[in-house]
Amino acid sequence: CAMIQEKHKSSAMLTHGFYFLRVQFELWDSDDPVPRKELLQKVKGVDGLLCVLTEKIDAELLDAAGPNLKVLSTMSVGFDHLSLEELKKRGIRVGYTPDVLTDAVAELTVALLLTTSRRLIEATHEAKTGGWGTWRTLWLCGHELANSTVGIFGLGRIGVAIAERLAPFKVKKFIYTDMAPRPELASAINAEFVSFDELAKQSDFLAVCCALTPETKEICNKNLFSKMKNTSIFINTSRGGVVNQEDLYEALSTGQIAGAGLDVTVPEPLPTSHPLFTLKNCVILPHIASASYTTRNAMSSLAANNLLLGLRGQPMIKELKL
């Protein structure tokens, strides 16, 4: 988190050296989130704010910042941590970081899908703890991508990138659901638009790539899981809030679906006592989809450039239109 004031004497340079802007900035120099109390104190009077998805940008914080705040830049593609109506009401411009993390998220999604479907975490545990004995016919058998139907919920750039990476595994068919058909994106992967119910019924692998909105909050619930095949694999690398975790636990523990791979949960971090951690058929990662050196550096650069361009009153590289 960085707070910027324009009116002081020190200098900050745009990442690629395009121009200089005289600013005073204060940086929270830790990998841990800035404590809320401290953030509310430090944000007073700032002209710009650079944040990550752990900071809740709401009316309380914007009131604490005061009228000088005119630009917010978030180092994330998601913006469910931002109170968009409050930002719009106050005329505060918002930068974000889409596109630069597409490849990293798509790669991680495929890795998580394969890890879950081929039971790699279980297999590693068995090898480490002495469970690896003589060859057994059905021991640690999983589910193949070959000749399968892959469903994508929320067909954006990431959904397309996931499908492009899965196609060489001889997937038979790609289907998707979104707010409306997206023929241009779908044509790139030869995907068919279907209803939400059909997505559940047909998918052997279901990847969730949608944004978290009031319409998608906990949309992946018992209604969805009850329609899925008992051999299906559920993968979520979007936002934890789109899944009802109690319903997911029930579906996994009763064999209603075969497995789930999650990179996102509610809350984050998920308490180690959570029931999902007791299941062998649930793989949980600590929200690392964009965690490659290349992508995090690109996100940092884009977030900084968005902020500085916004402070100059110029078009941002990636601005969220409110």
Q: Catalytic positions, please? A: 287
CB 12 within 8 A of CB 25: yes
Spatial distance between the Cα atoms of 252 and 256, rounded to a whole number of angstroms: 6
What would the DSSP string read from start to end of 19-76? -EEE-EEEE--SSSPPPHHHHHHHTTT-SEEEE-TTS-B-HHHHHHH-TT--EEEESS
Q: Which of 143, 179, 175 is nearest to 159 (CA)?
A: 175
**CA neighbours closer than 13 Å in the CB half-sphere of residue 248:** 29
**Alpha-helical segments (H) within the chain:** 36-42, 59-65, 84-89, 102-117, 120-129, 157-166, 183-189, 196-202, 222-225, 245-253, 293-311
Cα–Cα distance, 7 to 69 (Å, whole number): 13
* Tokens linked to 205: 């692998």
Give Cα 167 to chain centroid, integer Å: 22
Q: How far is residue 234's CA from residue 287's CA, in Å, rounded to a whole number?
A: 16
DSSP state, residue 35: P
Q: Tell the residue number behind the tokens 């992946």, with chain if given.
A: 220
- Chain length of the chain: 322
Look up residue 76 and give its two tokens: 């994330």
